[in-house]
Amino acid sequence: MKLFEEANTLQNKQVKANKAAEQKVPAGLWIACPKCGYEIFHEDVGLFHECPQCFYGFRIKARERLTWLVDSFEELDSQLDTDDPLNFPGYQTKLTAAKQKTELNDSILTGIATISGQKCALAIMDPYFIMGSLGKITGEKLTRLFEKATKLSLPVIVFTASGGARMQEGINSLMQMVKVSNAVAAHSAKGLLYISVLTDPTTGGVTASFAMQGDLILAEPHAMIGFAGKRVIEQTIHQKIPDDLQSAETVLKNGFVDAIVKRHEQKKYLARLLKFHQGGGKTDVTE
Amino acid sequence: MSQNKTAAQIVAAARSEQKITTPELITNLFTDFFELHGDRVSADDAAIVGGLAYFEGRQVTVVATDKGKTPKQRVAKHFGSPEPAGYRKVLRLAKQAEKFGRPLLAFVNTAGAYPGRTAEERGQGEAIARCLLELGQIKVPFITIIFGEAGSGGALAMACGDRVYMLENSMYTVLSPEGFASILWKDSKRADEAAEVMQLTPTALLKQGAIEGVIAEDADHTKTLAAIRAVLRRELANLENEPLAELMAKRYERFRKF
Ligand SMILES: [Zn+2]
């Protein structure tokens, strides 16, 4: 007896299903916002690549996000390379293409940044690197960032964007979820601040680990945030589910996100939060 | 032994109706099992059985996924796939174990976390994330036995401790072989082929350092139970002798190496 198709216990599917959201804004063309349908001329998405009507943030490369987010950025661990632990057919070719497309060594960019004068450890996932999937190097870079931030008493900000596990790395991908979580726990135990910012899409193993472990969890408008894929859910319960079940707005209403912040307001917003927690570590009660 | 079986045969054996069940494990490995219900937030998830028990005279906390036996049980238990309330029950019982200084023993046989509408609404991702963050830090020995399927984050949430052992006919995967085949080759019927590529067998996982050992399985369940009992006895003795700082440092290293 099968209550749901095991064939579909995969999170990546929902990301593929949302083809419209995967389209980059092509130069010199009109594009419809995948969330509200508003027709936008490419120049009008502006620096922030957001819909002028509903403020959905288009999927952007990690390096593009830096352009408006930070004053300075010192990149870390850009030379690490996965050892292809399963010796997986075709994986090397896929990696090479992803590296060229994103100018990254894996699906996350990490470094030490200043945001309006506030120093922090910053990680940005790239949805264009094998769908932002969680690989060994993704997990390693993020773990090293948390470990460094713990040592230097720095707050951490992580922008998530992921289709879930990196299936080409098998169990190694799964182990990253615990590896990173343990580093988050050590950082937290020192009383340091961790802010996660969930962008479109944040799903699967990333939702089920560091995305949902922030002291403060922010999200971009209309970002898809969930664990299981839409199709998997529908095949399991034999019912249609509403389109907005996994929208940032619904997830906030259900109690799992602190605030939704439009992309063009994020720098100011994050700077204020960093300032509020200034000094890192636990507040000295004797003051 | 499993060395003679193909990965596809192990997948079939892991899902077999002849597989040892959660009630069998609990009744035979422990005495005086007190079942405890509920997550103290919203519900009691029948896919997770948990409670207090004696293992060879010492107090332990037991948590287990349960696929159920009858069709009615299987519906209620979502065939062993926990809802958020299940993971929250596990975490609640684990914290209680920590308070009273009891080891935590987890038994896992699940295709994965339940992918339902209410599971999403009640924060399946958050429930697993919290297990990884907090269950991974409990300051008591934490041993997991995988005795059938262990699918993805939904299994990992109960396998983030000091030791993980697998029965000979069990599997531990990032996604199902069927899902893997349909993504990779757009053909879920090539699941057997996928099983080979995925390195999901206990032997392959031991080689990768993801588990500490493989437990021999027998058609005669009393022999399988004796083998599990021997592993638990040995590992509890090992872990209880370790100073807490060392236990926690080794646990960190257990995952840090990946
Ligand atoms: Zn829009």
The whole-chain average pLDDT of chain B stands at 96
Taking the CA of residue A271 and the nearest CA in chain B, the distance in Å comes to: 26
The per-residue pLDDT for range B165-220, each reduced to its tens digit, is 999 999 999 999 998 898 888 888 899 999 999 999 999 999 999 999 999 999 99
Chain B residue numbers with beta carbons less than 8 Å from the beta carbon of A247 are none
The region of weakest confidence among A77-91, B34-48, B74-88 is A77-91
Instruction: Domain ranges for chain B, please list them.
Output: 2-174+202-256
Domains within chain A, CATH numbers bracketed: 60-277 (3.90.226.10)
Q: Verify whether the Cβ–Cβ distance B125 to A179 is below 8 Å.
A: no
Q: Is A231 exposed, middle or buried (0-12, 13-18, 19+ CB in 10 A)?
A: middle
Q: Verify whether the Cβ–Cβ distance B132 to A181 is below 8 Å.
A: yes
Q: Supply the pLDDT for residue A105.
A: 97
Dihedral sign for Cα atoms in the order B194, B198, B199, B200: negative
Q: Supply the pLDDT for residue A31.
A: 86
**CB within 8 A of A249, min separation 6: which ones?**
A221, A222, A260
A40 strand-pairing partners: A31
Q: Which residue out of A16, A82, A136, A174 would a mutagenesis test of the B interface target, given it has the greatest number of B Cβ atoms within 10 Å? A: A174
What DSSP letter does each residue of B158-226 carry, written as one string? T--SSEEEEETT-EEESS-HHHHHHHHSS-GGGHHHHHHHHT-SHHHHHHTTS-SEEE---SSHHHHHH
Q: Supply the pLDDT for residue A20.
A: 58
Taking the CA of residue B41 and the nearest CA in chain A, the distance in Å comes to: 13
For A174, nearest residue in chain B (alpha carbons): B174
Q: Verify whether the Cβ–Cβ distance A8 to B179 is below 8 Å.
A: yes
Q: Could you give the C-alpha distances from A99 to A79, A102, A107, A111, in angstroms and in order?
A: 11, 5, 9, 18
Q: Please provide residue A219's backbone torsions phi and psi, each rounded to the nearest 5 degrees.
A: -145, 155
The per-residue pLDDT for range B119-145, each reduced to its tens digit, is 999 999 999 999 999 999 999 999 999
Q: Supply the pLDDT for residue B256.
A: 98
The per-residue pLDDT for range A37-59, each reduced to its tens digit, is 999 888 788 899 999 999 999 99
Is A120 annotated for ligand binding? no
Dihedral sign for Cα atoms in the order B175, B181, B183, B189: negative
Q: Supply the pLDDT for residue A3.
A: 47
Neighbours of ion ligand 1 (CB under 5 A): A 33, 35-36, 38, 51, 53-54, 56
ipTM: 0.97
Flag residues of chain A having pLDDT under 50. Answer: 1-17, 284-287
Q: Supply the pLDDT for residue A21.
A: 61
Q: C-alpha dihedral over A241, B191, B87, A166, to 10 degrees?
A: -90
Q: Supply the pLDDT for residue A2.
A: 44
pTM of the model: 0.93
Is A36 annotated for ligand binding? yes
Q: Verify whether the Cβ–Cβ distance B81 to A4 is below 8 Å.
A: yes
User: What number does CATH give the domain B2-174+202-256?
Assistant: 3.90.226.10
Asked whether the beta carbons of A66 and A47 are under 8 A apart, the reply is: no
Q: Supply the pLDDT for residue B57.
A: 96
